[in-house]
Chain A
């Protein structure tokens, strides 16, 4: 049973437009959520996180929204830039077992110039 799902394997957007990446989870114990970005042949790098006590967190062009009732979070990138092209992973953890993060399978974002 996959506890964190990213249902869109890929997404293509035009430069300057908004990119919206989605993530769903099933474990109601998850209370901390993160997004990571990964370029080929490199390890993932942390982008932005959100705690379950919030429903929105913003950092520059990146905003994460959390809908706890729907067990859904999304990452908005606006405006999108070609350098944003990468694989984006959603991850979730429970504070009671903070060391264990569960990752989704990733969404490949392509931003076209």
Chain B
């Protein structure tokens, strides 16, 4: 299996622009997670989907952030409009089954820079 696939690997955009990050989970996995990593806050959960349904979005910072999972093999995280403080590495992860009793695997991350 190719693992969790994220695109793009790097994104540089200007403040105010829309940014879309993409994730393809491991085939057969039905839980998907978006995390953000910054120096100040470490790795923090943004949103968690199970069977394509958002279960917990309490970590989404504000209305500028939105996430979708239209099918079992694809998810997007969108930031509109982007701001410099959104600069971070965004990770997508997936697991087979609920988080409590399965191992999660992470993609290589998208490094976002907003200038």
Q: Do A and B originate from a single complex?
A: no
Interface residues of A (CB under 8 A from B): none
Interface residues of B (CB under 8 A from A): none
